[in-house]
Structure 1
Amino acid sequence: MATWGLEWLEGIAAVWRQPLLYYGALLALAAGWRRVKRERRDFHVRVYSPWKEWRGLWTSGWLPGAVLSAVALGVGLVVPKEVVWMVTALTVLLGLTMEARLLSAAYTLGGTLLVLAMAERGRMAVPWLRDGVEAAPVLALWLTLLLAAEGWLIIRTRTEPASPQLLKSKRGMTIGRQWVQRLWFVPVVLPMAGGSLPSLPWWPFAVGGEGHSFWLVPFLLGFSQRRHHVRPPEAARREGRLVLLLAGVVAVLATGSVWYAPLAVAAGVVAVIGREWIAFSGRRADSASPPRFARHPHGVVIVGVLPGSKAEKMGLSIGEVICKTNGVPVRTEAEFYEALQRNRAFCKLEVIGDNGEVRFVQGALYEDEHHELGLLFVRERGSLASEAVS
């Protein structure tokens, strides 16, 4: 019993030796800094804290991590330590792109399966690669579990705000879009091949010998979306459900690989292709639709609302159109604030909601609030980068 307790303590302490722990923290800080830089460029104001991504990194992955740890310990999904290092190396390389969506388990674990397959095909005489090839079915099962966790986390992002951006459309007009990027640590207790502990009798997988130990591994997952038509909650819900569906398809292949090992590689291929198709199809559908955040003939379109601002307290949200301010029709940001100045103590807005119906929003204004309602609009900017919608 003392040996088990000591191994557990050493396994938990092993998290401090995991490069992903520090790399993920630095990546989240860099992502926050990059986002704030873009917000200031487009709107001359920081919309969200630069620590937003860093805080989200640590807070959302505990529940799926606990579930996956229970599954791993109950079923005995033992992997060689070298495979963990391969996943780590691939995660670091993909993270250098600063594209959070490439940190999907489909690319990190699926890519590792493809590397192992190429190594086996090339008959590379490296002992640890041989252990990795033997563990391919287990790695395919881990791919399934982490894809399921990723889908669940993506669906949960529908309640989190997106960062507004301005850009040039293909027709040369300024439009807005919503940028969602998330990073998550999913801490999982992994049974590792090699160690002083005996394998439990019901564990079906034994890789690299009978003994094992435990490691607490912080898997790094990511997600990003840029949409100019579909609202972020709707887009996240759709993509999350598709990722869960993909996890189900991969699960069938991964389970089959327990009896027929080549299916593990097929699971990796399907995961990579399927995840890329999900991202591509979402972008294509959004690009084929008219931009929601563009100049509107009947008013000014809200592309962003500052957190904690008067506008947020009044219940205004992105995509809505303000057509009248204090009874005065407005078509530009300048006209909006000019009409707002007409009454320094009270504000009444006529707003067209997502359902196309007009509603009235009103509230008292205190000193200087007429200058700082916290609304961000689609507007022309001479210094805007000539980036086109893809």
Structure 2
Amino acid sequence: MPTNEIYLDFNASTPVDPRVAAAMRPLLENAFGNPSSPHWAGSTAKAALERARGQVADLLGCADDEVVFTSGGSEANNMALKGVFFSRRNRGDHIIATAVEHPAVLVPLRFLETLGACVTVLPVDHTGRVDAAAVERAITPRTVLVSVMHANNEVGTVQPIEEISRITRARGVLLHTDAAQSVGKIPTRVDDLGVDLLTVAGHKLYAPKGVGALYIRHGLDLEPLVHGAGHERGRRAGTESALLAAGLGEACALARDLSPMDTVRALRDGFWVTLRERAGDRVVLNGHPEHRLPNTLNVSFVGWVGADLLARLDGVAASTGSACHVGSVKLSPVLEAMGIAPEIGKGAVRFSLGRRTTAEEIDQVAKSVATVIDGSCTRGN
């Protein structure tokens, strides 16, 4: 990678860890059989598949047979939401979510509304956090599912899942959490969280794109999203990819050690301190100051449009919290739901760090930001 290219968009996607690639490499030429075939070629693939399933289960603290491999986080979310709705229509039709959920949750819920679902979307506070008491108040006798993301992909705010789970358990309601952003960054043991369903996305976890998993607590019967032969114990049809599963499994095995996140958190916090020292009140934090992913720093540069500033940070890969359309700036739904003022939110930039981010890179970006905002470049309107 050229020295002027710095990647700070790990919440969007992570590179495949070399150890993950090494675990997958043998499967490119071997273990090519169908895992469902009863001969030697199939049994080799089956063994690799089940080893990977065990690695995912070990990270989540669940049984192997509670893990279903999917094509990614979006499919896992769809499987959870639609699976519960279709399998429990005789019990109720009400689903609760929050306004800051990923589109992979909110869009399927809008689809389910066309089929008769009643969806309640709860507001969040200015830090992006939902009030657990509001979840409890929203539950009705017809509620079958609450879906609240573990951590937000844009601002990193971590939701009070443990508190919400105590409420849902007491009320006999299932709880799903989209943990695509939190797995590998903070603890995600399913019994500690108290969830019934949990989504994993491989490419947020240093595994390849195209693979994910859904944890389904023992005793839950979901209507399959994909119908066909009886793969994944009848829960998801389609011949499993031992290759991709091995990648996700190895990534989960590596993620059991969260100590690298201590270094990432220190870099993130130092980055924020430096930005404040150099920009003062011209930079504002978006998201919760404490209940936040250790790698995520979403800040607004006052007086700027985020995309304009980012374009001047030559070689820096990061994300913005607003989009420009025909001279106007539209905030992301997450910032809008948090009540961020447009004049502040339009300057939002998300810097998301990863395991390979260095102090030198952070220092270089901080200096570049200071140079840009102190310079004579034209600011956004």
Task: Report the TM-score range of the alignment, normalised by the length of the smaller protein.
Answer: under 0.3
Structure with greater helix share of residues: 1
When normalised by structure 1's length, the TM-score is 0.24
Rg comparison, structure with higher value? 1
